[in-house]
């Protein structure tokens, strides 16, 4: 253990899988969490070719990553520490937000209350109810108005195994733009491209529709969703890449989602909203 780091025991040490996704390195921890970090943050990896990066494997019982061709080793703990150190996300002081219901999805007129932006380390916000973490949340629908759905297979243990009709994630510093709308849209496009394995140019054009909030759970109390909708025009449904740990369930009617307790609350709130506001 690193005796200079009082939190070292809290940093995961083992992974069950490692791979390269372009110029990013991905690791799946034993608890199912998936972490990505830019290869260019490590000097030897920055000089490696894409083929050399792709030749990564785990050694020492999953505690280290190895690249034979460039003679490089990284510990899993070091990769996690490096990823967390750069994980600044958009945060909204709770008093800056409009009055929030106990549980609802409701139409939004503007997003001006998101600014001025505050960027804070994600780990420091996970249990701090003085701030809200904005989550752009995209519901994809087909011509009939049915919503694309999936089941989570890993990642955050709090939502593992739950079903959802929304794709999205946190707003990172790299998404920052001159306006709240542009910042949120940048994050939405990045997350959608990653989770569905799409080039950015092929991400469906989305529009903001509503806010989503629930005060009934610890995870709900620190997040504020921004609902976007977009039509999926391809003949086949979305097919998430394997490393995203999302199992596609196909398109479902909003009425089915509302009545199905397997779906996370946000998805049921969104489906109910879209029944009333198609």
Residue 159 has pLDDT above 70, yes or no: no
Query: What's the mean pLDDT in 134-157?
Result: 89
Query: Nearest-CA neighbor of 173 among 88, 69, 275?
Result: 88
Residue 3 has pLDDT above 50, yes or no: no
Structure confidence by residue, pLDDT tens digits, 67-95: 999 999 999 988 887 776 656 899 999 99
HSE (side-chain half, CA atoms, 13 Å) at 194 = 20
Residue 115 has pLDDT above 90, yes or no: no
pLDDT band at 266 (very low <50, low <70, confident <90, very high): very high
Q: What angle do CA 7, 218, 166 make, to 5 degrees?
A: 105
Right CATH number for 8-85 from 3.30.2020.40, 3.40.50.720, 3.30.1640.10, 3.40.50.360? 3.30.2020.40
Whether the model pTM is above 0.75:
no
Residue 261 has pLDDT above 80, yes or no: yes
Residue 252 has pLDDT above 50, yes or no: yes
Residue 8 has pLDDT above 70, yes or no: no
How far is residue 259's CA from residue 204's CA, in Å, rounded to a whole number?
A: 27
Domain 88-276: what homologous superfamily?
Nucleoside Triphosphate Pyrophosphohydrolase (3.90.79.10)
Q: Count CB-CB contacts under 10 A for residue 125.
A: 22
Both tokens of 82, joined, read 């490096």
What pLDDT does 1 receive? Answer: 27
Q: What is the mean pLDDT of the chain?
A: 87
Domain residue ranges of the chain, discontinuous segments joined by +? 8-85, 88-276
Query: What's the mean pLDDT in 256-273?
Result: 97
Query: What's the mean pLDDT in 223-248?
Result: 90
pLDDT band at 110 (very low <50, low <70, confident <90, very high): confident
Residue 49 has pLDDT above 80, yes or no: yes
Query: What's the mean pLDDT in 8-21?
Result: 77
């Amino acid at each position: 253990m690193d005796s200079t780091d009082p939190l070292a025991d809290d940093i995961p040490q083992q992974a069950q899988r490692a791979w390269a996704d372009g110029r990013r390195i991905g690791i799946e921890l034993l608890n199912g969490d998936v972490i990505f970090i830019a290869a260019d943050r490590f000097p030897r990896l920055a000089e490696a070719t894409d083929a050399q990066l792709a030749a990564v494997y785990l050694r020492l019982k999953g505690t280290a990553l190895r690249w034979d061709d460039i003679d490089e080793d990284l510990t899993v703990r070091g990769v996690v520490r490096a990823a967390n150190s750069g994980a600044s996300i958009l945060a909204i002081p709770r008093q800056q937000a409009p009055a929030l219901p106990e549980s609802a999805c409701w139409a939004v007129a503007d997003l001006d209350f998101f600014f001025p932006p505050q960027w804070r380390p994600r780990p420091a916000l996970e249990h701090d109810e003085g701030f809200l973490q904005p989550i752009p949340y995209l519901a994809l629908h087909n011509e009939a108005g049915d919503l694309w759905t999936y089941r989570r297979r890993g990642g955050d243990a709090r939502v593992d195994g739950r079903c959802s009709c929304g794709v999205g994630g946190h707003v990172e510093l790299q998404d920052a733009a001159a306006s709240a709308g542009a910042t949120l849209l940048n994050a939405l496009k990045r997350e959608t491209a990653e989770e569905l394995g799409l080039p950015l140019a092929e991400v469906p054009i989305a529009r903001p529709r509503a806010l989503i909030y629930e005060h009934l759970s610890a995870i709900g109390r620190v997040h504020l969703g921004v609902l976007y909708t977009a039509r999926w025009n391809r003949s086949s449904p979305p097919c998430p890449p394997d490393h995203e740990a999302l199992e596609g369930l196909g398109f479902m009617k909003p009425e089915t989602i509302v009545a199905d307790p397997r779906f996370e609350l946000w998805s049921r709130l969104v489906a109910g909203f879209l029944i009333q506001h198609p």
